[in-house]
Structure 1
């Protein structure tokens, strides 16, 4: 974090799998195999922004929201000051 502060940077921490809760699954033969599927459980999305001054706010998280990697990508584009490509889902920022 000190390195981020030193360069007035921004840090985003997230995950796309989050399946540590179910790393092995039984296949049709009953044999255990490694699960590479995405978890249905929430995964983290953290922003560390030492220059944050209230200029953005994340939408609330919960069971009523179906956010995915496309939402995270859109959010990252905005954090970088870039336009969001049309084929991405809306960002995680509140309106």
Structure 2
């Protein structure tokens, strides 16, 4: 699957990592629902770091459709809230 981190670019990521990423996504969703700004900031950074570690960057000139779009590292809690679905940032 192709994942886009807003403001950074795209990475190819194996579907086998979705369960691991969903754990962080669930934490992020709970922190957003509780208004936990510091927890949200920490978990968002952890989620993006994990995607960068597990993914392979695509060339800058490559424009493939992204199955997942994640917020930039400096996104606010309100901005991320607007991106969320009922499943969080990562469906499943």
Structure with bigger gyration radius: 1
Judge same fold: TM > 0.5, yes or no.
no
- Name the structure with the higher helix share: 2
Q: Give the TM-score normalised by structure 2.
A: 0.32
